[in-house]
Structure 1
Amino acid sequence: MTTNWQVVAGAPTLPPLYWRAATRRKITGSVLPDDGLRAWLNVDAQAVAAYRKVCGFTENGLLPPTYPHVLAFGLQLQLLTAQSFPFPLLGLVHLANRIRLLRPLGGLSRVQASVHVQNLQPHAKGATFDLITRLDDALGPLWEAESRMLCKGVKLAGEPPEPLVQDPQDIDEVSRWWAPTEIGRQYARVSGDYNPIHLSALSARLFGFPQAIAHGLWIKARTLAALSGHLPSSNLEIAVQFNKPVRLPSEVILLASAAGSSGDLQLKGHRALQHMHGHWQPLA
């Protein structure tokens, strides 16, 4: 599929996009658009520092490996609320996320972010697609990611692909932490992502959740912050699948392989409930 790139002058204004998301509730088609968005964005040191604090990263001169999602969030929101996009944003479920660190994320003040969608596939509960995000600087590609999203209720021909199941090898407890009630609101303030299911029990109940749940990208960020001494700073792929949501408040336990170029991780909760599992490895 050839992407029709549209260049955007800076980060989009978020409130009109949230209004557009709130007023679109119907599935309008079953074909992904060919459109993509690109923009040069400034890296704000104060915003990065606030993000580090909420997600548990220490200052090491590099952008946190999950921070490009925050930089590109406005472009993602603009793409997923465009008239040509067939699925309503509210109700999309984040199933998995894969990040590739191509080069160290240091010394950055201005980067180009690109977003597009691809890989529409049938799923037992609807259809999935991949939201692709990429960061470049003047020297070329820096970072890329794919977020697999589920839209329930979409009807596509064909059989859903078989899920790939990998058993983690030789993992031990690395860390544990408390996910407090207010973490959804704290993450929203540093990311711009004000999804109601993360903000409070009251707003989460409007969407069928008995309690607010932690944002998946906060879960991944907090995990990578805890593993910062385990992982290389570049030439690295980190893929996770989100399982059961982390209800707020609750304690979570991180298990992982020993430090090295590759390994497995799991995030568990009360009574060994699995919230997330994944793997890191060098780029091919």
Structure 2
Amino acid sequence: MSTKSYAERAKAHKNSAARLLLETIARKESNLAVSVDVASSVDFLAIVDVVGPFVCLVKTHIDILEDFTPQVISDLQALSKKHDFVIFEDRKFADIGNTVALQYSSGVHKIASWAHITNAHPVPGPSIIAGLSSVGLPLGRGLLLLAEMSTKGSLATGAYTDAAVQMARANQDFVIGFIAQRRMEPVNEDEDLLVLTPGVGLDVKGDAMGQQYRTPREVVLESGCDVIIVGRGIYGKDPKLVEDIRAQAKRYQDAGWAAYLERIQATTV
């Protein structure tokens, strides 16, 4: 796992989106990302506004909004500036290069125009990175590869994960890291591939749909991951309970940051 601080890593990173994320983490003392998965634009923006002060990153699934309009993106960008967080559209691209380039740049959502970071399945091979980077790299964007998933029975293991790591290492100008459950050991000191980890919970260990949860301490300290991704654990009771959402966001921010500080202290002793 990395022995360097987020701020130290930000200074050395090659990709501008990764630098932005690492700088934001250090500045806000938060390695918390909130996944805002609700179908109403009003609820979506309201939750983002409440959790914004506590997070380094907001993760979206913009295609689940039933009443999407371009104004939602304008409002999201305004909240990003207001609260100082990075935007990650969890699109999980999984097609040939030409198709994903069009999906990324065009259509209703025009993801590349507003999402600092997006992600992709490595299933199609390196062509998916070529297609996405042709759009995102000139815009200063960053890509995460799905090396592992937090669901029970996931097929993203073993040789599949190893292949994703090799693809990332060959494209570090645009690929900034992984969605994964653990840090991938670097091959040299210059390599810095971030690890963003879903399936984080303080109160439950799983759900009826196969999701499995680990604590921030398990994810950040024991597995060496960089960003904890939390969704329903923060707003799941009711997206309109503002004070409860705020308290949960602060709780996860504190837990994630404490685990990071413990990791840094452990590696410097």
Which structure has the bigger radius of gyration?
A: 1
What is the TM-score of this pair, normalised by structure 2? Answer: 0.27
Normalized per residue, the structure richer in helix is: 2
Normalized per residue, the structure richer in strand is: 1
What is the TM-score of this pair, normalised by structure 1? Answer: 0.26
